[in-house]
Amino acid sequence: MDVTVTDLPDQCRYEATSADGVVGVLEYRRQDGVIFLNHAETALAHRGKGVAGQLVLKAMQDASEQGVKVVPVCPYVRDWVSQHPEWG
């Protein structure tokens, strides 16, 4: 699925958008050089199309570039990280 993932720091979330509008979000909290990935959610019509994975990948890439530690609070994010050991 063709989506664009954008970090919206003033809202503490990443948004995945497509021609249908916002199709997924990943909410987070930052504190002392750590980003807590709290909750990922995909719109019902877009589940199973890799949207949540794209959100988590973008968050992990940004964290790596910024040199911050990631704490995967959300069960989906924990599963994603366990399936992608290169980001562990």
Distances (CA, A) of 58 to 7, 54, 65: 8, 6, 11
Between CA 37 and CA 78 the distance in angstroms is 9
pLDDT of residue 88: 72
pLDDT in tens, 65-76: 999 999 999 999
pLDDT in tens, 16-66: 999 999 999 999 999 999 999 999 999 999 999 999 999 999 999 999 999
Between CA 29 and CA 8 the distance in angstroms is 12
pLDDT of residue 87: 86
∠ at Cα 83 (31, 7), nearest 5°? 40
Q: Which two tokens stand for residue 10?
A: 């003033």
46: containing domain: 4-87
Domain harbouring 64, CATH code? 3.40.630.30
Distances (CA, A) of 59 to 45, 64, 87: 23, 9, 11
Domain count, the chain: 1
